[in-house]
Amino acid sequence: MFERLFSWLKDVPLSKFLDSPVKRWLWNNALLIRLVRRYYRQEFSYEKIPFEMIPKPVPGLKKGRFILTGENWLDEVERPIAVLWGFNSWKRLSTSEYLPEYRVAFAKRAVLWPFMFFSISKLARDNNGLVFIVWSYKEKLRVRAFSRIFSIPIYRMEDGFIRSASLGAQHTTPMSLCLDKTGLYLDATRPSDLENLLNTFDFDSETELLDKTRSIMHIMRDLKISKYKFYGLASVLDIIGLRTNKKRVLVIGQVEQDASIKFGLAKNWTNELLIRLASDENPNAEIYYRPHPDEMYGFRRNRRLRKFKGITILDQKDITVTDIFEHVDHVYTVTSLSGFEALAYGLKVTVVGAPFYAGWGVTDDRCQIPRRGRLLTVEQLYCAAYLLYPRYISNIGDSLVGILGAIFTVVTDAEDVLNQKLQTLLDDNSKLNKSQIKLVASSEKWPALLNKPILNSCFNSCGNLNKIFMSNKLY
């Protein structure tokens, strides 16, 4: 029976399987769940270090309780051990590369706590510098208990502010991660390494570093870099039209169950309340609402919004938030990182929660954080958030080289995805609109426009093809 099932699954991609009619039936069968997950685990394969290859056995490390990754286990140098908790299996592929100072051991989730207790007690006794690293706040109570009993510090890890060309829910490798030894940047209830940097770092004496930050900001704005970089197939102007004399306000939606809202002192705020606030404070403005990408792509759900009169919902997947920034005047958000990105575009940003960039004098704050009493510039905030705080996989030791590597990697990946979308459009022989023609003309697919049926479609759509080819603006 199982051989038949797996032969049927052999050529079925995981994304298609999850959308198939048998999903609900399989999801109610625990045995089949485990078998199917084991079958698909090869998609998230990572290189494990066999326990037999460790030069010197480590008391407490048991094969059934930990998964070892990273080449540090094979060195003669005995680095401190980091036990990682709450990491999904696909995240194990690259996490050890962000932690060159540690030997990385992922704790298995299904181990009974008494067995893990004995392992941790031996590790704590025989290894100086043992630390726990937790993904966000996904540790169980026993992890905090082990930490307190054996005096093991807990560090936390999260995605950095330049991540990838696809959403994290699609299991793409992150270009940057943040390791915080105090708290976490999204948690306003307590200090974090980033908040401490912003409170204490001497920016005035680091003029060269600030000059580099300004250059990075220009690059990010020119290339329209955000946390998730992708190119759309539509133009914002085609959707919202040319600017009038009315003020334009953008409301940035979030997943209301997100940790950044829970820990950002904004538990009572919803997307609906935020829209109402923006409308009340800007009665004569054009109000636009942008849902969270995870919601638009169906990875996470929000409660259904009421229909607001005069509100335009920009839920098209083919436009990006950085494109929208160029056509609005004011941004409202709860705690979204997009509010921080909007500062680089010179926009006024109103925040009702307490994200890491609020409380420093650059945003319109509706939530007070007494710990943050220093006045900073946007450049100083960007310096701390993009150069001093995160780690970049392309260069862990040099954040300037690392961020440039991350930027150009996500741009290249995004262009590859765009070319695939354009090729699909061209293969369909469907009529192209002006925005799509401009994208094709500015990409490596431009010779396809010389194809006679497509060429006729181009002339029918825009009349003057020369203007499109002469345009220097890429996207």
Q: pLDDT, tens digit, for every residue of 35-93?
A: 444 443 333 445 688 888 898 889 999 989 999 999 999 987 889 999 999 999 888 88
Check residue 453 and give its pLDDT. Answer: 59
Distance between CA atoms of 282 and 277, rounded to whole angstroms? 8
Taking alpha carbons only, the member of 95, 245, 79, 256 closest to residue 178 is: 95
Distance between CA atoms of 246 and 234, rounded to whole angstroms? 23
Distance between CA atoms of 463 and 443, rounded to whole angstroms? 20
Is-contact 82 103, C-beta < 8 A?
A: yes
Check residue 57 and give its pLDDT. Answer: 87
Check residue 304 and give its pLDDT. Answer: 65
At residue 248 the predicted structure's pLDDT band, cuts being 50, 70 and 90, is very high
At residue 429 the predicted structure's pLDDT band, cuts being 50, 70 and 90, is low
What is the percent of the chain where pLDDT is above 70? 77
Q: In this structure, what are the phi and psi dihedrals at residue 104, rounded to the nearest 5 degrees? A: -100, 125
**DSSP letter at 322?**
H
The stretch 378-389 carries a mean pLDDT of: 98
The stretch 447-453 carries a mean pLDDT of: 61
Residue 208 tokens read as: 């060269």
Distance between CA atoms of 387 and 400, rounded to whole angstroms? 6
- pLDDT over 60 at 462, yes or no: no
The stretch 235-248 carries a mean pLDDT of: 87
Check residue 238 and give its pLDDT. Answer: 79
Q: How high is the mean pLDDT of the chain?
A: 83
- pLDDT over 90 at 290, yes or no: yes
Provide the 3-class DSSP secondary structure of residue 287: strand
Torsion region of 86: left, alpha or beta (phi above 0 gives left; psi -120 to 50 gives alpha): left
Structure-model confidence comparison of residues 201 and 128, the more confident one: 201
Residue 93 tokens read as: 């592929």
Residue 176 pairs with which residues in a beta bridge?
392
Give the pairing type, strands 391-392 and 176-180.
antiparallel
Q: Give the type of residue at 435.
A: S
- pLDDT over 50 at 110, yes or no: yes
pTM: 0.82
Is-contact 164 173, C-beta < 8 A?
A: yes
